[in-house]
Amino acid sequence: MTVSAVVPTWNGRVRLARLLDTIRAQSHSFSEVLVIDNGSDDGSGEMAAAWGARVVRFGENRGFAPAVNAGIAGAAGDAVAILNDDVELDPDWLARLVDALEAGAWFATGKLLGPSGLIDGTFDCLSRAGCAVRIGHGAADGPEWGVRREIQLCPMTAALFRAEVFRRAGVLEARFESYLEDVEFGVRCAAAGLGGIYEPAAVARHLGSATLGRWSARTVRLLSRNQVLLLALHWPPPLLRRWWWQIATGQLLWGLVAVRRGRAWAFCQGKWEGVSAFRRWRGAGDGAALEALVRTGERSIAAAHGDDTYWKWYFRLAGEK
């Protein structure tokens, strides 16, 4: 199986160089590496080209989703690995995920560890509120995170996809720019019956929100907006009516988190942008597929994060699925 690597970057020269070193050290070699330079002015593109990557240059920062889409369009491999520029791959990361695809999975992701050795993430899950969580984030590594399992939503921090997935489900929603674009894509994959594998033996290390910062104003605004746009695209009217309380609860609780981080204005701005665009973004949505997705997702969230303050209050107020 030939594999193309797609790496969006923006002013990430140092971290990109570390990633490229780990790409070169893989036991299963990449057939090509495409670096999508989102208008960097720190020499990232020039460094990547000198390393041997094929570089696609944008004149400005268009966001993660448009950059990934440009990489997918130019990729020639049987599979496409999407990699943040702030990850470092263990030497057998790609080999482990190729094995999962060759066994029949449509996509696969591995265990992400943060700088401190805690779990950065495993796979994603989605709630009725339209709020998502990266399962395991912040937890100590342990046996519970070492179990291989089928998944429905795959974070694009470091993941491998059959190229055919993008022909069947489409590419990323470019209007999302950054944040939740991988969740929105996963909802479409679930509706198309395209499932994946979490392979914990494939380990990558993730610096985390290196480009914008986890609680930057732009991050909070985009997340707040995209939570609403996700509802517009995929929650059909019957589910919007049935889950209105869960939606209000989850979104307002997330707003309280943003307020505690000093990002009240960014939260309000994002919600206003999402609500203003809601009618223009309306999609049909697959209600049955979405119900199955969030049913499974909320069970996983409750099991892994039920004691976290946000999710404890969400389930207490909204009720468990």
77-117, pLDDT tens digit by residue? 999 999 999 999 999 999 999 999 999 999 999 999 999 99
Q: Is residue 18 part of a domain?
A: no
The pLDDT, as a whole number, for residue 321 is 65
Q: Is residue 276 part of a domain?
A: yes
Instruction: Annotate 53-74 with three-state secondary structure.
Output: CEEEEECCCCCHHHHHHHHHHH
262-284, pLDDT tens digit by residue? 999 999 999 999 999 999 999 98
| Domains of the chain: total | 1
Q: Is residue 227 part of a domain?
A: yes
Buried b (16+ CB within 10 A) or exposed e, 61-90: bbbbbbbbbbbbeebebbbbbbbbbbbbbb
pLDDT at 213 exceeding the cut of 80: no
83, 6 in Cβ contact below 8 A? yes
Structure tokens at 106: 């449509």
Place of tokens 């990729």: 75
The pLDDT, as a whole number, for residue 98 is 99
Average pLDDT estimate for 196-213: 84
- The CA distance from 233 to 282, in Å, is 5
221, 271 in Cβ contact below 8 A? no
Query: HSE (CB half, 13 Å, CA atoms) of 262?
Result: 4
- Residues 6 or more apart whose CB falls under 8 angstroms from that of 8 comprise 36, 38, 64, 67, 68, 71, 84, 85
Q: Is residue 19 part of a domain?
A: no
Candidates 108, 249, 231, 246; CA nearest to 176 is: 231
The pLDDT, as a whole number, for residue 320 is 78
- The CA distance from 84 to 207, in Å, is 10
Structure tokens at 185: 């894509």
Q: Is residue 33 part of a domain?
A: no
Q: Is residue 279 part of a domain?
A: yes
Q: What is the pTM of this model?
A: 0.94
Residue 15 pLDDT grade (very low, low, confident, very high; cuts 50, 70, 90): very high
Q: Which residue range forms the structural domain that includes residue 232?
A: 217-318
Mode of pairing for the β-strands spanning 79-83 and 158-162: antiparallel
Q: Is residue 251 part of a domain?
A: yes
Q: Is residue 234 part of a domain?
A: yes
